[in-house]
Structure 1
Amino acid sequence: MTATYTAQMSTRSGGWRLYVALLGDLVSEWPEHDFGPGPAIPTPAERSRALTALGFVFTDGAEWEWEEYSATTGDDTSPVRLLASIRVRSWDGGAS
């Protein structure tokens, strides 16, 4: 069975970053890509290229899911943050 992971994208330090959560794997750091400064959300093509560069591809039928949450938990007047996620697998079909 091919291992699948969750790739997530969020803002950090004024720019977007994409990372692959390798839960349960013995890794010191998760693979990540920083899109650089700027408020623009990376396009689906840019996200796909970043994941490919990290060694991952989308699983069949996977679609980006967006979630919003408060910057300050429990405070509905705080700024809204966005988190995107999608299921991916290693490009070679094995564990990363």
Structure 2
Amino acid sequence: MSGQQMAREFTAQMSVRDGRWRLYVALMNTTDAWPEHRFGRTVPTFTDRTDALSVLGFEPVPGAEWTWTEYSETPDNPASAVVLIAAIRVRSWSGVSV
């Protein structure tokens, strides 16, 4: 890429705890703190999420879409509270050294 370093890809995830949403980029195989953005109590819109990623120095990989997964807070208990986790592939664009 003629002197330019290729953008590295990561997984960004969004989850809710205590009624507040947070978005973070999972930086595997590193001791660096994971970049994180906290939202309020409403579900962040697509634009809110994209803007938060941008502030953190990332953008969705072209063609990537958010996927939503449902987990039980207490495995093997069908009455357990549900935890939603959203994920999307992202790439660093701002020279973030990760």
Is the TM-score greater than 0.5?
A: yes
Identify the residue that residue 21 of structure 1 maps to in structure 2: 26
Deviation at 1:67, TM superposition (A): 0.1
Identify the residue that residue 52 of structure 2 maps to in structure 1: 50
Matched residue count: 93
2:35 aligned partner, one-letter code? P
Partner Cα separation in structure 2 for residue 32 and residue 23 of structure 1: 14
Partner Cα separation in structure 2 for residue 2 and residue 93 of structure 1: 8
TM-score, scaled relative to structure 1: 0.88
- Kept after mapping to 1: 8 A contact 2:69/2:86: yes
Partner Cα separation in structure 2 for residue 94 and residue 49 of structure 1: 16
In the alignment, does 2:35 pair up with 1:8?
no
Partner Cα separation in structure 2 for residue 23 and residue 9 of structure 1: 16
Query: Any gaps of 5 or more consecutive residues in structure 2?
Result: 1-5
Query: Any gaps of 5 or more consecutive residues in structure 1?
Result: none
Post-superposition Cα deviations, 1:42-81, rounded to whole Å, max 9, x if no partner, equal: 0000000000000000101000000001111111111111
Identify the residue that residue 74 of structure 1 maps to in structure 2: 76
TM-score, scaled relative to structure 2: 0.87
- Kept after mapping to 1: 8 A contact 2:58/2:90: yes
- Kept after mapping to 1: 8 A contact 2:73/2:83: yes
After superposing on structure 2, the runs of 4+ consecutive aligned residues of structure 1 that deviate more than 2 Å are 92-96
In the alignment, does 2:91 pair up with 1:89?
yes
Radius of gyration: which is bigger?
A: 2
Partner Cα separation in structure 1 for residue 89 and residue 11 of structure 2: 5
2:27 aligned partner, one-letter code? L
Closer, same or farther: CA 16–94 of 1 in aligned 2, 3 Å? closer
Identify the residue that residue 43 of structure 2 maps to in structure 1: 41
